[in-house]
Amino acid sequence: MTFNKSKMVSALAMAGILTLTGCESDEAKEAVFSLGVSDAPVENAEEVNIELDQVKLIPMNEDGSEKGEEVIVDTFTNEAGEEVDTIQVNLLDFQGTSQIKIIDETQNIQLDAGNYEMELVVVDAGSYVIEQGDSAQQPIKIPSSRLRLGEFEVASQYVQVGDTPAYTLEFDLTQSLVQRGNAITNNGYIVKPHGVRIVSQYGDISGTVAGDYTNLGTCSVYVYAGDVVEYGDLFDANDDIFDAPVEEITAAAPLATVKVADDGSYSIGFVAPGDYQAALYCSVVEDNNVQFDGLTIPAAGEITPDVVSFSVANQESVTVNFDAPAAQ
């Protein structure tokens, strides 16, 4: 395996530096909110459309309780720069490191610095999946049409530069999009908070996987925290249909995952700065994104690919390749 890093020289990084050096007390300052949307690809879908009616920003205390009044954003900016009441995004149009800006700084949404949670108010009629080889719209069902997401930090140094918003909402659809029923008794889909992250500082990961591995089945790259010692498959213990195994799960679920493309390449965008590990899984056995399958990771047939440790810094591109195994 190989990995290397390159620095993304961008106006966003420079703006952050200039803002940091030009302010004495960031915590006391207001921040101008802007938001983009991106996703990691998912199999068997031509479109995954989400239509938003509102974005609610809820200020949070350090103990996790709500404080103050929520800020409601009920207008959006489309790709033409027009202000609209709702916005529909096909998430599959903005994969990897690409994103679409849906809330612009010119809307002048002012927030006090601090921690917030985000809630998306979804338009049911405009939220659906179109599967490969089928033009029918399979509805996306979100309880009460509201998707409550986790905490993120708002600070005045996180700013929009050009068309790059201050914050990005990243949907890892491999984890967050779940089909109810099966291909025969399809009851539509749901989108869960699990696998959705909000980032302001981020880098990205990309690389290639050798044909020695991809020839053995569908390959996926799993990304774990840097201190993980037991690598688990995808599962969501908070899902209503999760069946807990008899034995306690000791393996860690991945933080992000992506299928390897037919040409052996992959990329994961909007990864928060930190220490990580990447592991490879290649098999004809699929990984259920709700249930714990007890898959052996890393694995590729009878080969055990090395786990790669690496770090991601803000505005940094990291290359992690899974090279052909050494000849025995």
**Sequence-ordered list of residues with C-beta below 8 angstroms from that of 126, at least 6 positions apart, any chain:** 49, 50, 51, 86, 88
In this structure, the number of other CB atoms found within 10 A of the CB of residue 43 comes to: 11
Task: Specify the pTM.
Answer: 0.85
Asked if pLDDT for residue 17 goes beyond 90, the answer is no
Q: What's the pLDDT band for 306 if we cut at 50, 70, 90? A: very high
The pLDDT score that the predictor gives to residue 228 is: 97
Asked if pLDDT for residue 173 goes beyond 80, the answer is yes
The pLDDT score that the predictor gives to residue 19 is: 39
Q: Look at the chain and report how many structural domains it folds into.
A: 2
Residue that wins the pLDDT comparison between 12 and 33: 33
Q: Please check whether residue 83 is in contact with residue 107, taking contact to mean a CB–CB distance below 8 angstroms.
A: yes
Show the domain range for 152.
Answer: 1-200
Residues 192 and 206 in one domain: no
The pLDDT score that the predictor gives to residue 88 is: 97
CA gap 317, 205 in Å, rounded: 6
Q: Is 175 among the domain residues? A: yes
DSSP 8-state code for residue 80: T
Q: Is 190 among the domain residues? A: yes
Mean pLDDT calculated for residue range 82-111 = 95
> Which residue from 285, 253, 279 is spatially nearest to 266, judged by alpha carbons?
279
Residue that wins the pLDDT comparison between 328 and 103: 103
Mean pLDDT calculated for residue range 125-141 = 92
Residues 25 and 87 in one domain: yes
The pLDDT score that the predictor gives to residue 326 is: 76
Residues 6 and 87 in one domain: yes
Q: Which residues of 65-89 are buried (b: 16+ CB within 10 A; e: fewer)?
A: eeeeeebebeebbbeeeeeeebbbb
Instruction: Please give the C-alpha separations between residue 320 and each of 24, 208, 267, 292, 326, in angstroms, as whole numbers.
Output: 38, 7, 10, 26, 17
Domain end position, chosen among 200, 220, 247: 200
CATH number, domain with residue 298: 2.60.40.1120
Asked if pLDDT for residue 188 goes beyond 50, the answer is yes
The pLDDT score that the predictor gives to residue 182 is: 59
The pLDDT score that the predictor gives to residue 5 is: 56
For the stretch 98-120, pLDDT in tens is 999 999 999 999 999 999 999 99
Percent of the chain past pLDDT 90, that is, above it, reads 75
DSSP 8-state code for residue 17: H
Residues 67 and 12 in one domain: yes
Residues 134 and 269 in one domain: no
Asked if pLDDT for residue 148 goes beyond 70, the answer is yes
Mean pLDDT calculated for residue range 226-246 = 94
CA gap 191, 196 in Å, rounded: 9
Q: What's the pLDDT band for 16 if we cut at 50, 70, 90? A: very low
Residues 116 and 150 in one domain: yes
319 token code pair: 């290359």
Residues 183 and 222 in one domain: no
Residues 27 and 170 in one domain: yes
Q: Is 328 among the domain residues? A: no
CA gap 110, 280 in Å, rounded: 43
The pLDDT score that the predictor gives to residue 2 is: 59
Q: Hey, which residues does 213 pair with through a beta bridge? A: none
Q: Is 177 among the domain residues? A: yes
For the stretch 29-69, pLDDT in tens is 689 999 999 998 788 899 999 999 999 999 999 988 998 89
Cα 269 off chain centre by? 8
> Which residue from 81, 83, 125, 103 is spatially nearest to 37, judged by alpha carbons?
103
Lowest mean pLDDT among 6-15, 101-110, 124-133, 151-160: 6-15
**Any alpha helices (H) in the chain, and if so which ranges?**
11-21, 173-176, 211-214
Lowest mean pLDDT among 18-22, 116-120, 200-204, 301-305: 18-22
Q: What's the pLDDT band for 135 if we cut at 50, 70, 90? A: confident
Residues 78 and 195 in one domain: yes
Residues 191 and 220 in one domain: no
The pLDDT score that the predictor gives to residue 27 is: 47
CA gap 313, 318 in Å, rounded: 9
Q: Is 11 among the domain residues? A: yes
Q: Is 76 among the domain residues? A: yes
The pLDDT score that the predictor gives to residue 6 is: 57
Q: What is the mean pLDDT of the chain?
A: 88
The pLDDT score that the predictor gives to residue 133 is: 85
Domain end position, chosen among 151, 174, 200: 200
83 token code pair: 């202000």
Residues 44 and 150 in one domain: yes
Domain end position, chosen among 185, 200, 215: 200
Q: Is 289 among the domain residues? A: yes
**Sequence-ordered list of residues with C-beta below 8 angstroms from that of 301, at least 6 positions apart, any chain:** 216, 217, 282, 283
Mean pLDDT calculated for residue range 229-251 = 94
> Which residue from 278, 275, 282 is spatially nearest to 267, judged by alpha carbons?
278
Instruction: Please give the C-alpha separations between residue 164 and each of 23, 215, 233, 267, 278, in angstroms, as whole numbers.
Output: 22, 38, 33, 19, 27
Residues 213 and 194 in one domain: no
- ∠ at Cα 238 (53, 136), nearest 5°? 50
CA atoms within 13 A on the CB side of 126: 13
